[in-house]
């Protein structure tokens, strides 16, 4: 991951139990990053798994900027919305057809208006309003149970309510920022340097673009379902944060929004809304963002047969929900069995005092792509 001399590694704060499914290679990556020059603190969470440029499911505080610890999908995050649509009025077949509107992005005028007045106005509107590929999704969920009645009531949530969880980021915008500096970031950028200032400006723009993108997708999904969407929280998990004691890098580690953060499960498991207290300083103000991968994408192709019966079975969930994904490769790579148990991740977070459950959500409609394109 790096080609520079390492320093004496800082202590890694591991917020996962011995029972957690953590691949050894991910732990090795975590400890390698702990020895990078200028690294001050490293935290790993129970959704930890190996990544291309560093581990996913970690937070890293350093006195310099390492773009590779953010990666190309700058600003990626999850936003949870409450829908004012009664469960009895959601007809899955009809709703699935209506959500196909998410296959294409917004028009140029709509995109420009959405970015107007923000730091992202300098970026292209191309792709705005779309999810992209990989593990991104837009999911209609039903509140399965309430764990923290007081907090849920304050948010206007009760069992049986419909919500929308949107997981996406800055699409080609962040990727363009990252690849544009790929020859220069190996040893990190020193704060105050031209390279650091240029990256931070583009990073901040891409992060705003990503947040606008999630809001647009939610609005378009709500319009397709003939209802309104009210934001509960929007928690990014791939981004850089300037702090008094250095630069905090999060890669697959959520930054709570208003003390809340979604914890995504898989197509075959519950997701959660978590209340996140201040927590121990070693956690760097971060928590897990999801279940985390158990098997990488290539491995999934060896675990699931590409036969019609198995592929069709993956388009339905054990909750009676539907998965809208015309890309067979993506369907296999994002199968429920590719992911860890989100409930186990939550239990570890609760045991370490990092979060507690507010509500659990069952997936009803998971939209990824309706035409086979990865975006």
Q: Give the whole-angstrom CA distance, residue 205 versus residue 173.
A: 9
Residue 97 backbone zone (phi > 0: left; psi -120 to 50: alpha; other: beta): alpha
Q: Give the whole-angstrom CA distance, residue 174 versus residue 186.
A: 18
Q: Give the whole-angstrom CA distance, residue 119 versus residue 209.
A: 8
- Of 49, 249, 289, 356, catalytic: 289
- Catalytic residue status for 237: no
Q: Which two tokens stand for residue 116?
A: 């107007």
Beta bridge pairs of residue 65: 189
Residues marked as catalytic: 289
């Amino acid at each position: 991951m790096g080609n520079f001399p390492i320093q004496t590694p800082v202590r890694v704060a591991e917020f996962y139990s011995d029972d957690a499914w953590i691949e050894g290679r991910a732990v090795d990556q975590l400890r390698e990053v702990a020895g990078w020059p200028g690294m001050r603190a490293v935290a790993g969470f129970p959704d930890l798994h190996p990544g291309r440029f560093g581990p996913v499911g970690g937070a890293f505080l350093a006195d310099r900027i390492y773009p590779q610890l953010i990666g190309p999908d700058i600003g990626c995050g999850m936003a949870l919305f409450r829908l004012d649509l009664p469960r009895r009025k959601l007809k899955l077949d009809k709703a699935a057809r209506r959500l196909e509107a998410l296959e294409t992005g917004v028009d140029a005028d709509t995109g420009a208006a959405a970015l107007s007045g923000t730091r992202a106005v300098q970026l292209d509107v191309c792709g705005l309003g779309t999810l992209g590929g990989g593990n991104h999704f837009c999911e209609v969920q039903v509140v399965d149970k309430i764990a923290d009645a007081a907090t849920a009531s304050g948010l206007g949530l009760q069992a049986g309510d419909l919500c929308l969880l949107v997981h996406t980021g800055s699409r080609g915008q962040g990727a363009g920022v990252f690849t544009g500096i790929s020859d220069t970031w190996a040893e990190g950028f020193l704060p105050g340097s031209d390279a650091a200032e240029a990256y931070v400006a583009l990073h901040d723009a891409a992060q705003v673009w990503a947040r606008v993108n999630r809001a647009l997708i939610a609005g378009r999904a709500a319009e397709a379902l003939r209802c309104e969407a009210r934001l509960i929280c929007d928690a990014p998990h791939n981004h850089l944060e300037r702090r008094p004691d250095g630069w905090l890098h999060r890669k697959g580690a959520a930054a709570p929004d208003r003390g809340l953060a979604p914890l995504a499960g898989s197509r075959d498991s519950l997701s959660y809304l978590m209340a996140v207290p201040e927590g121990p300083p070693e956690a760097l103000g971060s928590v897990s963002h999801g279940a985390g991968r158990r098997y990488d994408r290539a491995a999934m192709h060896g675990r699931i047969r590409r036969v019609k019966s198995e592929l069709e079975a993956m388009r339905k969930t054990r909750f009676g929900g539907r998965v809208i994904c015309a890309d067979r490769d993506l369907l296999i790579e994002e199968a429920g069995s590719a992911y860890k148990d989100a409930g186990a991740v939550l239990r570890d977070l609760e045991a370490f005092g990092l979060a507690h459950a507010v509500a659990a959500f069952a997936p009803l409609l998971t939209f990824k792509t309706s035409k086979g394109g990865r975006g």
